[in-house]
Amino acid sequence: MNFERVTRGEKLSTVKATAVQYAILALMLALTAGLWRLQVLGAENFKALAEQNRIRKVPVLAARGKLFDRENRLIVDNYPSVSCFLVREQNRNVDADLPLIARGLHLDVEQLRATLRRFRAAPGYQPIPIKQDVTADEQAFIEAHRNELPELETIEGERRLYPRDGFASHVIGYVGEVSEEDLNQTRYAAYEPGDVVGKGGIEEMYDQLLRGQDGSRDVIVDSHGREVGYLGTQHAQPGKELRLTIDNDLQRAAELALGNRNGAIVAMDPRNGEILALVSRPSFDPNAFAVRIDRSEWNKLITDPDHPLMNKAIQAQLAPGSTFKILMSVAGLQEGIAQDLKVTCSGGWGPYGFYHHCDEKHGAVDIHNAIPFSCDTYFYQLGDRLGINKIAQYATQFGYGQKTGIDLPGEQAGLMPSAQWLMKNYHRRWYPDETLDVAIGQGAVEATPLQLARIIGGIASGGHLVRPHLVFPDQLPAEFRKDLLETLPGSGEVNIPIDPENWNVITDGMAEVTQPGYFHTAGSAHLEGIDLAGKTGTAQLMSHEALGRTNKGHNTRPNVWFVGLTPRRNPELVVAVLWQNGEFSYYPARLGARVVSAYVEKQRRLAHNLMPPKTPAARPVEVGAVWTTPGATTADTARLHAGRFFVGDAGVISQSRAASLSRPASKLASPMQGRQTHLPSQLGIAVPIKPWKAN
Amino acid sequence: MSPGRRLMSFRDFDWALLGMVTLLCTISVLEIYSATLHTKYIGFHTKQIYWIAGGVIAMFIFSKIDYHKLIDWVPWAFGVSLVSLVAVKLVGTKVLGARRWVKIGPMHFQPSEWVKLILILAVARYFANLGGRSLTWKDIAKSFALVGLPMMLVLVQPDMGTALTYTPILIAGLFLGGINLRQGLILMICGSFLIAGVWTSGKILKPYQKARLTSFINPDDDPKGSGYQIRQSLIAVGSGGVWGKGAAKGTQTQGDFLPIPHADFIFAAFSEEHGFVGAVFVLLLYFFILMRLIQNAQTAADLPGSLIIMGIVAVLTFQIAVNVGMVIGFMPVTGIPLPLMSYGGSSVLFTFLALGVAMNIRMRRFVN
């Protein structure tokens, strides 16, 4: 620059002017450096931030996979529903709007605040779900307040629709918002606050498959969250539909049979472990959880002394009572002790100083009537001879005290005591007297209904024990199946050979249980024409003496069991019934019988309704026959006819030769002559001549 | 005809300066157009054109008025300024909690803007009258009072940003008017103590002012308030990269993430859309404009002329430094407009009037 020298008058100091120039230069350089830092060095970072600013991902919710029964009938459906989300704007404080929002959406302000607090740490572009299943008038409220409440946004999705009245609720489970505790667990690592997850039952176990993958709609927004552009959509992947092994008809029969009694029913196919029905009572309505359960309703559920949320079929661990005698019989027979054990029951036995009662004075008892009589005296002595270690060995082998590995969350293992167990946990020796209690399924023995179904069904199947399951495994991805088997270690599928002789003795004994007969414990559950075998059980909660001293209230009554099978050997169906405080064991036996008869009736009905099996038709056979006209009384009409026919599966196909042996000569044709179809059977003297050579 | 009139011609008008200023104003109008495209401020670029046109006319008119006359009138103008500042406090229009504007007819004026120009003239007059001799403490105190009085009146509006722009006028006057090193150091030390005292007293500065002044250091401390503005500004500038996103394509600007992108944050909007290259080009323009003005100051016929131009340079430099510094996160958010770029009638008018005075001083450099 050209700095002219000014000489006239007082003037600006050149040194100072130059200093100012350098100061300005330095300032400009500093500002340039600042721009360099941001625009050249930090460009990538700031570009990413700018993108984050302008792109909002509006979730597209994936429809959850539906559930079907084994015959592809719908159990759990979805229905379209609108959810309301709160979109946080960076420079708008929504706190002031909360009371209005709460009023319009019928929410509790405090609850709403708590929801917002939970999402404080979430990234700003993530919308906060504040209300599911918005009703029509709430939707109208949101529309009407678009300007005052621009932060509200509605998203359409699908919600769960469960069967009414808690049908199969313990099988299905329910869905709800993922809780904060869950989010801290590793298995929920991929979930975000506000996600809907399965809780309990199939919904929880198969959540990963059922939930699908939420998509998103990427929109360009301005700082007010207004959509000003659209980038694209990542489509939601709907969840996998699952076919359950449940048979709706049998499930309904089991639900009706159990009614509102406190207990559980499990029906399983012991050949493959498919659960056909699973009921637990009291029940709950999973639909109540589908949105957000009412606090009071929740409190009612968790404080109910009968535990509605507990799946008693897999979680109730109770003394199996006399149903344990089946295992005792297996042990006794396999060890060669029971065959020769003959006992005289005089109402109890007590070699160790304590007298152990039997319900009756059965008189002479051996293994054949010990099961139908459920004679305690016999099993006291059998147990005494076997000893606790042998009993525990067999019981453990067959699965007592272990989970079955069913694909439901929260299964309990039950308990099988042994000398080691007692030493380990109570640091004392096992007294032989204690074996007597174990021998009749009391003492410390505990089992779940599902365990009993698996064990007794397995024994009746000749020692083939299965792993119970609710979902046909062929629908599952291999990886998922492997994980499932690993996370659910159970006694699984095993084969324990039982001597066929012993097998017959035990299954025949079980068949006798439901036959009418004096001392037979479940004679009243007899089903005419159905081979129903089973075993009852009564697990006393208090000793006879103690019971005598108390008021005989509801909850002092014994828990009663029944495990039923049909047919007695290699059964197709095993049903375990638990009725807590049910008092008499033939009560559950009748419930079990209802389930069994529902099953058998359905099978028979199906057999008649179904198309005939497509086996290749047998070749027609040529037969010769002689006959008279049916119903002929006078000698005149009683003529003898003869003819040859081709007979196939469906009856006579054709007459190969005209009736030739008609005497007197058939001027008048027999009225039946044209309808030979019936004739040979009426006479029953069809003689095969030679196979018809067809084709 | 006076000899001055004869010797003064538009041949001596600073066409180079006017060219650079016009270029900057063109950039400004285009950027205001781009930044307001999707906002309720759409159409402000035409308003800005009117302001600029008015400013240019005012500049020519002022360039014809002998600056000595202006200096003669300054005591009167100064008095009127004080009255108008008091008036604005009493009857002004309240916008966002501060009374800064007076309504005259259809237009709103911010008296604090043109008080700046009067203050420049007053300070120049004051120091020129001292005749270049060494300053006594009494002189310094008087100059403080001269600037301090209007500053206080603006501060109570409250408009801290504009009030701060008065300080460079005083500093430039003192520096060029003959303050010595010892006095300067003492003043700096006193000033530091004063600032520290004001900061810690907790009474003079309102909490929101304090928050604004500190949030630029760590914008995340106050992500909803002024920190948000700083943050969005940094994102805008940074994401512009070297070449920018293109005119009207800045996502921060167009998406309304950047606050007031046509006024205080216009430099951020410009940097986003035109990148490092564009931003540096604008800084260079400013640099040349300032250098040209300093040259004019040096060639001025007398000390008052030089001091007036240096006062203008001081104000413009201060505003550029504070505004661009704010945009790139070096300075707090103070609401000081970027001269010749930011939208705003008062600011445009002040700048052009100041340039008019500078033109006049240049055209009279051979007159005495």
Q: What is the pLDDT of residues A323-348, one digit of tens each?
A: 999 999 999 999 999 898 999 999 88
| Interface predicted TM-score of the whole assembly (ipTM), two decimals | 0.93
pLDDT at residue B225 is higher than 80: no
Q: Is A343 helix (H, G, I), strand (E, B) or coil?
A: strand
Nearest to B276 among A4, A35, A54 (CB): A35
Residue A31: list chain B partners with CB under 8 A: 283, 320-321, 324-325, 328, 330
What gap in Å lies between CA A340 and CA A378, rounded to an integer? 12
Please give the pLDDT value at position A637: 59
Phi, psi of A464 (to 5 degrees): -95, 105
Query: What mean pLDDT comes out for the span A229-247?
Result: 87
**Please, what sign has the CA dihedral across residues B201, B203, B205, B206?**
positive
> Which tokens belong to A336?
């060669």
Residue among B234, B287, B317 minimizing CB distance to A46: B234
Min Cα separation A15/chain B (Å): 10
Collect all residues of chain B within an 8 Å Cβ-Cβ radius of residue A39. 237-238, 240-242, 271, 275-276, 279
Chain A residue numbers touching B307 (CB-CB < 8 A): 12
- Per-residue pLDDT band for A254 (boundaries 50, 70, 90) equals very high
Distance between CA atoms of residues B299 and B344, nearest Å:
31
Q: Which residue of B has its CA nearest to A32?
A: B280
Highest averaged pLDDT of the listed ranges A153-157, A555-559, B163-167, B321-325: B321-325
Please give the pLDDT value at position B95.
Answer: 64
Total count of residues recorded for chain B: 368
* B42: Cβ contacts below 8 Å, ≥ 6 apart: B36
Mean pLDDT, chain A, whole residue set: 82
Chain B residues within 8 A of A16 when measuring between CB atoms: 175-176
Nearest to B308 by CA among B234, B364, B235: B364
pLDDT band of residue A638 (cuts 50, 70, 90) is low
With beta carbons less than 8 A apart as the criterion, state whether B318 and B165 touch.
yes
Contact A38 B328 (CB under 8 A): yes
Beta bridge partners of B244: none
Nearest to A53 among B224, B235, B302 (CB): B235
pLDDT at site B214: 76
Judging contacts by C-beta atoms under 8 Å, the chain B residues touching residue A219 are: none
The alpha carbon of residue B4 is apart from the nearest alpha carbon of chain A, in Å, by 16
* Structural contact between residues A475 and A243, judged by C-beta atoms closer than 8 angstroms: yes
Q: Which residue among B175, B298, B302 places its CB closest to the CB of A9?
A: B302
CA distance B306 to B361: 8
Residue B59 has pLDDT above 50, yes or no: yes
- The packing angle between helices B303-327 and B345-363, to 10°, is 150
For the ranges A480-484, A517-521, B40-44, the one whose mean pLDDT is highest: A480-484
Query: CB-based burial of residue A147 (10 Å sphere; 0-12 exposed, 13-18 middle, 19+ buried)?
Result: exposed
Kindly list the residues from chain B whose CB atom is less than 8 angstroms away from the CB atom of residue A2.
295
pLDDT of residue A560: 92
Residue of B nearest to A23 (CA): B317
Could you write out the DSSP letters of every residue in B10-69?
Answer: TTSS-HHHHHHHHHHHHHHHHHHHHHTTTSTTTTHHHHHHHHHHHHHHHHHHHHHS-HHH
Extract the tokens encoding B106. Answer: 């259809």
Residue B205: is it exposed, middle or buried by C-beta count within 10 angstroms (0-12/13-18/19+)? middle
Gap between the Cα atoms of A227 and A443, Å rounded: 70
* A672 pLDDT higher than 50: no
Shortest CA gap B95–chain A (Å): 20
Q: Is the pLDDT of residue B82 over 70?
A: yes
Q: To the nearest whole angstrom, how far is the Cα of A27 from the nearest Cα of chain B?
A: 7
| Nearest-angstrom CA–CA distance, A451 and A494 | 14
Which residues in chain B touch residue A229, judged by CB atoms under 8 angstroms apart? none
Q: From the candidates B216, B298, B307, B361, which should be mutated to test the interface with A, based on the most A CB atoms within 10 A?
A: B298
DSSP conformational letter for A447: B
d(CA B31, CA B271): 10
State the Rg of chain B over Cα: 21
Q: Which residues of A touch B237 (CB under 8 A)?
A: 35, 38-39, 46
Q: What is the pLDDT of residues B7-28, one digit of tens each?
A: 556 777 889 999 999 999 999 9
pLDDT number for residue A7: 38
Compare all CA atoms of chain B with the CA of A34 and give the residue at the minimum distance: B328
Task: Give the list of residues 6+ apart from residue A164 with CB closer than 8 angstroms, or none.
Answer: A285, A287
A17 and B292 Cβ atoms separated by less than 8 Å: no
Contact residues, chain B, for A225 at CB < 8 Å: none
Residue A261 has pLDDT above 60, yes or no: yes
A120 Cβ contact list (under 8 Å, min separation 6): none
Closest chain A residue to the Cα of B307, Cα to Cα: A12
Token pair, residue A637, equals: 């009409």
State the pLDDT at residue A99.
84
B306 to chain A: nearest residue by CA? Answer: A12
* pLDDT at res. A579: 93
Residue A421 is which amino acid?
Answer: W
Write the residue in A6, A20, A224 that is nearest to B256 by C-beta: A224
Flag if B251 and A50 touch (Cβ within 8 Å): yes
DSSP letter at B256 equals T
pLDDT at site A8: 41
The Cα of B85 is separated from the nearest Cα of chain A by a number of Å equal to 31
What's residue A682's pLDDT? 45
Distance, in Å, from the CA atom of B223 to the CA atom of B226, rounded to the nearest integer, reads 7
Q: Above 80 in pLDDT, residue B119?
A: yes
Sign of the Cα torsion A251, A257, A261, A264 reads negative
- Residue contact A51–B295, C-beta within 8 A: no
Q: Which residue of B has its CA nearest to A25?
A: B287
Q: What is the DSSP letter of A468?
A: -
Judged against a pLDDT cut of 60, whether residue A552 lies above it is answered with no
CB-defined contacts A:B, below 8 A:
163
Q: Is B203 helix (H, G, I), strand (E, B) or coil?
A: coil
The one-letter amino acid code at A123 reads P
Q: What is the spatial distance between Cα A151 and Cα A105, in angstroms, rounded to a whole number?
A: 14
Residue B181 pLDDT > 60: yes
Q: Is A685's pLDDT higher than 80?
A: no
* Closest to A241 (Cα-Cα) out of A400, A368, A68, A440: A68
- Supply the pLDDT for residue A614: 62
Closest alpha carbon within chain A to B308: A12
3-state SS string for A488-539: CCCCCCEECCCCHHHHHHHHHHHHHHCCCCCCCCCHHHCCCCCCCEEEEEEE
Nearest to A24 among B290, B302, B306 (CB): B290
Determine the pLDDT at residue A687: 54
pLDDT digits (tens, 9 = 90+) for A78-102: 888 888 888 776 556 677 788 888 8
pLDDT for the residue B318:
95
Highest-confidence segment of A291-295, B91-95, B99-103, B187-191: B187-191
Question: Which residues contact residue B208 at a Cβ distance below 8 angstroms, ignoring those fewer than 6 apart?
Answer: B225
Report the share of chain A in percent with pLDDT over 90.
Answer: 35
pLDDT surpassing 80 at residue B133: no
pLDDT at residue A694 greater than cutoff 50: no
Rounded CA separation A240/A211 (Å): 7
Nearest CA of chain B to the CA of A105: how many Å? 27
Joined tokens for residue B128: 């020129």
Nearest CA-CA distance, residue B298 and chain A, Å:
6
State the pLDDT at residue B96.
60
Would the pLDDT of A59 be above 90?
Answer: no
Angle at A311 between CA A308 and CA A313, to 5 degrees: 130
Return the pLDDT at A670: 45
Which pLDDT does position B3 carry in this prediction? Answer: 45
Q: Are A46 and B238 inside 8 Å of each other by CB? A: yes
Task: Report the chain A residue with the minimal C-alpha distance to residue B255.
Answer: A222
Confidence (pLDDT) at B99: 64
The amino acid present at A196, given as its one-letter code, is V
- Among candidates A184, A183, A178, which has minimal Cα distance to A198? A178
Which range (A62-71, A498-507, B110-119) has the least confidence?
B110-119
HEC-encoded secondary structure of A636-694? CCCCEEEEEEEEECCEEEEEEECCCCCECCCCCCCCCHHHHHHHHHHHCCCEEEEECCC
Query: What residues of chain A lie within 8 A of the CB of B132, using their CB?
Result: 10
Number of neighbouring beta carbons within 10 Å of residue A98: 17
**If you count DSSP H runs as helices and E runs as strands, how many of each does chain A have, helices first?**
24, 25
Yes or no: say if A278 and A244 are a contact pair by the CB < 8 Å rule.
no
Q: How close B288 comes to chain A (CA, Å)?
A: 10
Beta-bridged to residue A632, according to DSSP, are none
Binned at pLDDT 50, 70 and 90, residue A616 comes out as: low
Q: Which residue has the higher pLDDT, A664 or A306?
A: A306
Integer Cα distance of B33 and B3 in angstroms: 46
Residues of B in Cβ contact (< 8 Å) with A227: none
Cβ pair A49:B241 closer than 8 A: no
Residue A233 has what DSSP assignment?
A: E
Residues in chain A, total? 695
Single out the residue of A278, A253, A274 nearest to residue A264, CA to CA: A278
Chain A residue with minimal CA distance to B285?
A28
- Max mean pLDDT among A599-603, B225-229, B249-253 falls in A599-603
Task: Look up residue B278 and give its two tokens.
Answer: 């564009």
Cβ contact A13:B176 at 8 Å: yes
Residue A248: band (very low, low, confident or very high) from pLDDT cuts 50, 70, 90: very high
Which residue of chain B has the CA closest to A222? B255
Smallest CA–CA distance, residue A124 to chain B, in Å, is: 12
Q: Which tokens sit at A344?
A: 């005289």
pLDDT of residue A251: 94
Residues of A in Cβ contact (< 8 Å) with B297: 12, 17
The residue in chain A having the minimum alpha-carbon distance to the alpha carbon of residue B253 is A222
Q: Of A674-688, B204-218, B283-297, give the lowest mean pLDDT range.
A: A674-688
Give the pLDDT confidence of A273-309 residue by residue, as tens digits: 999 999 998 998 888 876 666 778 888 888 888 888 8
- Give Cα separations from A326 to A331, A396, A515, A534, A572 (angstroms): 9, 14, 17, 10, 18
pLDDT value for B107:
62
pLDDT at A667 over 50: no
> pLDDT tens digits for A393-446?
999 999 999 999 999 998 999 999 999 999 999 999 999 999 999 999 988 899
CB contacts of A22 in chain B (<8 Å) are none
CB A145 within 8 A of CB A104: yes
Whether residues A20 and B252 touch (CB distance < 8 A) is answered with no
- Determine, for residues B324 and A40 on separate chains, whether the beta-carbon distance falls below 8 Å: no
- The tokens for A262 are 């406190």
A684, pLDDT greater than 50: no
